[in-house]
């Protein structure tokens, strides 16, 4: 990375001038913190004693047999507190906010997963917490909104634009411009202006560091390939970065959605609809139309539904150090089911993209090869989407009855 936060041509800082000083303060505080043994120990201790790290590397013998090919191992980020890798980043930035003397954090959230993780850690660390969320997303993801509020966070509905994630992001930046004295902007993925991509990827790298040790102990060497789903790119950066130039092939799996047309997927690679652009504070590959307007995205998993991508991954892909592929919604649901019935593991729909990509390729690998697939989160949260995809009529009946009862009381 260059001094200005570039990764090749991607990254940088494109932010309002008023934020310049607080951004500089954040960059310096982050560097100081990462050189401070005491801070690193604090982060490690919270990851162990609050979130449950290290997470296991699980060998999947039944799945391996059913796919027929490479040996399949799963990195179990679903076993983190709150059920996803997001906790790693939120613990790191929450502790950093305290170290900087900030008593308030703000965050943007789409599906609400990052909002809940931020609200949890804010409660634990005694930080005031405000979450910006599109009004449209609030309707679709109310259970997460419920928990954020119960945890003591203020949830601000954003009604501008399409009332979704990118509008929530604009509002969060606006808040930061007004309140930077006491407020840390806790970004949820490895995107945005310097130092966020590097910082989030850094806190997530514990995933890959653990896989290094675990694969030596359990496989006897590093895996031949590692697979991770790619939304903003934080779980992929976390498991990939420690393995760059190690000989292990790194494969990102994007949301193929329902088709290859504009607005039907969330692929920022291997499509002409995505190209270099500058938006939301940084430069990366964005899905955009001929006029440069950001496009709508679609995916069965809310967490992969994003128009931009980590500048770190954009650069690694361009250098040929990460390969990108994608999986369509239907293939993702099949992979979700196959893992569930063979191994008793219910993966998030986001993570099921990585499973789909991994098993598709494992089938043509040798039995002496090994792959690791990152299970970024658990699938309980996806019960509504999965029941819909599987046409589970009994579940529909349950919801109707439940809502009927609620309306009566």
Ligand X SMILES: *Cc1c(COP(=O)(O)O)cnc(C)c1O
Residue positions annotated with a catalytic role? 60, 85
Among 53, 75, 81, 86, binds ligand X (CB under 6 A): 86
Distance of CA 255 to the CA centre of its chain: 13
Q: Are 120 and 82 in contact (CB under 8 A)?
A: yes
Among 93, 234, 284, 326, binds ligand X (CB under 6 A): 234
Closer to ligand X by CB, 180 or 194: give it: 194
Closer to ligand X by CB, 71 or 267: give it: 267
Total of chain residues touching ligand X, rule CB under 6 A: 19
Q: Which stretch binds ligand X (CB under 6 A): 135-143, 209-217, 225-233, 290-298?
A: 225-233
Q: Build a one-symbol-per-residue string for 350-389: x at contacts with ligand X by CB under 6 A, - elsewhere.
A: xx------------------------xx------------
In angstroms, the CA 304 to CA 377 distance is 12
233 binds ligand X (CB under 6 A): yes
| Touching ligand X, residues 285-344 (CB under 6 A) | 303-304
Q: Build a one-symbol-per-residue string for 14-53: x at contacts with ligand X by CB under 6 A, - elsewhere.
A: ----------------------------------------
Closer to ligand X by CB, 99 or 337: give it: 337
| Touching ligand X, residues 186-215 (CB under 6 A) | 189
145 binds ligand X (CB under 6 A): no
Q: What does the block give as tokens for 10?
A: 């991607």
CB of 234 to ligand X, least distance (A): 3
Q: Are 112 and 142 in contact (CB under 8 A)?
A: no
| Touching ligand X, residues 237-276 (CB under 6 A) | none
229 binds ligand X (CB under 6 A): yes
Among 47, 70, 72, 84, binds ligand X (CB under 6 A): 84
Binding site for ligand X (CB under 6 A): 84, 86, 113, 189, 229-236, 303-304, 348, 350-351, 376-377
């Amino acid at each position: 990375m260059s001094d200005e936060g570039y990764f090749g041509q991607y990254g940088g800082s494109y932010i309002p001038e008023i934020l310049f000083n607080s951004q500089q303060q954040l960059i310096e505080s982050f560097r100081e913190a990462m050189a401070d043994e005491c801070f690193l120990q604090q982060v490690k201790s919270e990851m162990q004693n609050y979130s449950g790290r290290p997470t296991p590397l699980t060998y999947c013998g039944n799945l391996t047999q059913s796919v027929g090919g490479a040996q399949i191992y799963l990195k179990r980020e679903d076993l983190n507190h709150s059920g996803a890798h997001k906790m790693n980043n939120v613990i790191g930035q929450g502790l950093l906010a305290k170290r900087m003397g900030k008593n308030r954090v703000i965050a943007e959230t789409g599906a609400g997963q990052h909002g809940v993780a931020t609200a949890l850690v804010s409660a634990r660390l005694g930080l005031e917490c405000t979450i910006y969320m599109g009004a449209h997303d609030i309707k679709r993801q109310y259970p997460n909104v419920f928990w954020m509020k119960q945890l003591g966070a203020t949830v601000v509905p954003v009604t501008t634009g399409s009332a979704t994630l990118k509008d929530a992001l604009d509002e969060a930046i606006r808040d930061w411009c007004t309140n930077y004295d006491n407020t840390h902007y806790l970004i949820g993925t490895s995107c945005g202006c310097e130092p966020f991509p590097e910082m989030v990827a850094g806190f997530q790298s514990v995933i890959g560091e653990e896989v290094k040790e675990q694969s030596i102990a359990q496989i006897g060497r590093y895996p031949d390939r590692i697979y991770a789903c790619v939304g903003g790119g934080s779980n992929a950066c976390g498991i990939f970065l420690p393995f760059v130039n190690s000989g292990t092939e790194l494969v990102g799996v994007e949301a193929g959605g329902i088709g290859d047309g504009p607005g039907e997927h969330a692929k920022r690679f291997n499509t002409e609809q995505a190209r270099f652009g500058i938006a939301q504070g940084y430069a990366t590959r964005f899905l955009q139309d001929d006029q440069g307007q950001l496009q709508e995205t679609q995916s069965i998993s809310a967490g992969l539904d994003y128009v931009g991508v980590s500048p770190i991954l954009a650069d690694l892909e361009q250098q040929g150090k990460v390969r990108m592929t994608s999986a369509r919604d239907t293939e993702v649901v099949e992979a979700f089911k196959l893992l569930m019935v063979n191994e008793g593991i219910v993966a998030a729909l986001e993570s099921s993209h990585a499973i789909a990509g991994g098993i598709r390729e494992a089938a043509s690998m040798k039995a002496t090869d090994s792959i690791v697939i990152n299970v970024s989160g658990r699938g309980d949260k996806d019960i509504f989407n999965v029941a819909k995809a599987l046409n589970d009529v009994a579940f529909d009946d349950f919801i109707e009855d439940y809502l009927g009862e609620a309306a009566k009381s």
